[in-house]
Amino acid sequence: MMTVGFIGLGSMGMPMACNLLARGFALRGFDVRRESVAALEVRGGRGADSAAAAAEGADALVLMVVNAAQAESVLFAQGALDRLPDGATVILMATCPPDAVAALAARVEAAGRRFVDAPVSGGTVGAVAGTLSIMAAAPAAVVERVRPVLAAMGDKVFHVGEAPGQGATVKTVNQLLCGVHIAVVAEAFSLAAKAGVDLAVLLEIMSGSAASSWMLKDRGPRMLEAEPGITSAVDIFVKDLGIVLEAGRGAKAALPLAAVAHQMFLSASGRGEGTMDDSQVIRSYHLLNGVTPG
Amino acid sequence: MMTVGFIGLGSMGMPMACNLLARGFALRGFDVRRESVAALEVRGGRGADSAAAAAEGADALVLMVVNAAQAESVLFAQGALDRLPDGATVILMATCPPDAVAALAARVEAAGRRFVDAPVSGGTVGAVAGTLSIMAAAPAAVVERVRPVLAAMGDKVFHVGEAPGQGATVKTVNQLLCGVHIAVVAEAFSLAAKAGVDLAVLLEIMSGSAASSWMLKDRGPRMLEAEPGITSAVDIFVKDLGIVLEAGRGAKAALPLAAVAHQMFLSASGRGEGTMDDSQVIRSYHLLNGVTPG
């Protein structure tokens, strides 16, 4: 059985690490929060007191950190890459811009290690259940070496390309669609509200028509509430649509709808509403258009 | 049984008129194309040689014309309203801007007739099957008087508001969502194509994720074809998103995503591609971003 180093034991990383333990992998984990490392030990994992110690002798090193800058710091400044055996595989699962992923991959491969770009979707629910979608990009043989590791965390492992960065691109496309879908529901509902249309009736009709989307059915009902519970925050889309636009700059691709949607989330954040449920991007439209929600 | 006048026997209007005949309504139909009137007579309806003759003595007058200007011409310049008995009901089912509908309703009501704003969705398939969604706006008692007429054409009759124009608003919102959903799939796929991602794999992943929409599943596969069959043309969304933006101007509501999406369909039309399948709006993105589809 392979030995896995795991860096980043947050709301996604901890349940992913636990699923690796449950499948029998020898796992050593690290997080900058000491209490997270202690929690892993309670769950049967081995804790490490540094990123480098977690990487020591591992066959695969999973990075579930916040962003590309943290991944770079862990691998290089904090010395994890040096402690990883020759031929071991770095698996980057955080959501990062495609260009940054490709650059990290090149440096890791130049140092004689393998690299799999493997972002996920499915949220904490999927992380706990082991039902994440994993969008893996690397040469097929490299993906196959670590497929058991990936399959322990997600039940849908897609090989989306040979070049690291292509997994990040697929994740980026996913977030582009999700973010614009939320914003356009808000745009449509704000127009309807201004015309005095009952939004509950509107939502019922749209949910059953060609105008429907996963986000319409999920976020639409919460747009009709003044203070909905927080399922995912406005600031997540400020970040993720920011990555989308960075991917567009990297690929030199104009993304006009994504750019507009980003502005609407950004303005919500600018009003101090970044921690609200992301359905509340509708407030940006209501303010823009002078709508008083009924 | 009520007597129904029916103006506009096109690809939608003809099957709608036939469903009224099948339910036993006495129907007199008119279209500027003589052959359409003749076809109605073959199907058991009575033909009229003018809009005014179709309206003569009818309890309800259905307008399934191309736009608001045609509806106005039929009612006023062509004299249909004068021939309609006092208290009879005009049912406007064409897709029109909300303000234009409200203005027509006011003139009809000032002349002592009733008015129901009742646009439809469901396309020719729904028109033939009698399964249209009908978004009716008028005082409840006015809608109830003609409910049997509406129910003969659509199995989902929603009462969306008391004021004519609100039905048009709901239809507008529907088209706003549909148009932006198509354009954003094209935007996302064009980015992925530029990054060298396999679009068939991408489509499979997105169809099963939170990024999914009715349009992604319907138009997405056709975006991967170079010359797909035409289900609905680019120029339909040039027109319908134009109505959306006119509705926004009428309500004084900024609709930035709809405005951007409209530009992408408009540019496709400007290249002479207006009669292509609307999935081909992806060509606007490919040209914009220098993508050669693989």
Question: Looking at the 3D structure of chain B, how many domains does it have?
Answer: 2
pLDDT at A294: 66
User: Is the same domain home to A152 and A80?
Assistant: yes
Q: For residue A294, is it within any domain?
A: no
CA-to-CA distance for A56 and B163, rounded, in angstroms? Answer: 71
Inside any domain, residue A280: yes
Q: Which two tokens stand for residue B179?
A: 């148009």
Q: Has residue A10 been placed in a domain?
A: yes
Q: What is the ipTM of this complex?
A: 0.93
Q: Please indicate whether, in this complex, the C-beta atoms of B218 and A210 are within 8 angstroms of each other.
A: yes
Of residues B226 and B58, more confidently modeled: B58
Residues A24 and A118 grouped into a single domain: yes
CATH number of the domain bearing residue A175: 1.10.1040.10
Same domain, A120 and A17: yes
The answer to whether residues B235 and B284 belong to one domain is yes
Percentage of residues of chain B with pLDDT beyond 70: 100
Confidence of residue B1 (pLDDT cuts 50, 70, 90): confident
Which helix (H) or strand (E) segment holds residue B22: the answer is helix B13-22
Asked if the structure places residue B251 within a domain, the reply is yes
pTM (two decimals): 0.93
Residues A138 and A177 in one domain: no
Quick check: A9 and A17 in contact, CB under 8 A?
yes
| Any domain includes A181 | yes
pLDDT at A17: 98
Which member of A161, A176, A209 has the closest CB to residue B121?
A: A209
- Domain with A114, as residue range(s), is 3-162
Residue B294 has pLDDT above 70, yes or no: no
Q: Are residues A13 and A154 in the same domain?
A: yes
Residues of A involved in catalysis: 171
Q: Is the residue at B87 inside a domain?
A: yes
Picking from B109, B141, B162, the residue at the C-terminal end of a domain is B162
Contacts of B198 in chain A (CB under 8 A): 160-161
From B162, B196, B220, give the residue that closes a domain. Answer: B162
Q: Do both B46 and B183 map to the same domain?
A: no
What residues of chain A score a pLDDT lower than 70?
Answer: 294
Cβ neighbour number for residue B250 with a 10 Å cutoff: 20
Residue B294 lies in a domain: no
Same domain, A109 and A211: no
Q: Do B90 and B26 share a domain, yes or no?
A: yes
Clarify whether residues B125 and B196 are in a common domain: no
Which CATH number characterizes residue A119's domain?
A: 3.40.50.720
Cβ contact, residue pair B206, A178, below 8 Å = no
Would you say residue B64 lies in a domain?
Answer: yes
Closest residue in chain A to residue B290, using alpha carbons only? A253
- Choose among B180, B247, B123, B178: nearest CA to A192: B247
Same domain, A79 and A183: no
Which residues of A fall within a CB distance of 8 Å from B175?
211
Cα-atom radius of gyration of chain A, to the nearest Å? 21
Strands (E), A106-229: 114-117, 120-121, 133-137, 156-161
Q: Which of A162, A197, A220 is at the close of a domain?
A: A162
pLDDT tens-digit series, residues A260-270? 999 999 999 99
Question: Could B213 and A213 be called an inter-chain contact, meaning their C-beta atoms sit closer than 8 Å?
Answer: yes
Tens digits of per-residue pLDDT, A118-164?
A: 999 988 899 999 999 999 999 999 999 999 999 999 999 999 999 99
Non-local (6+) Cβ contacts of A259 within 8 A are A245
* Single-letter residue type at A18: C
Q: Assess whether A91 and A199 both reside in one domain.
A: no
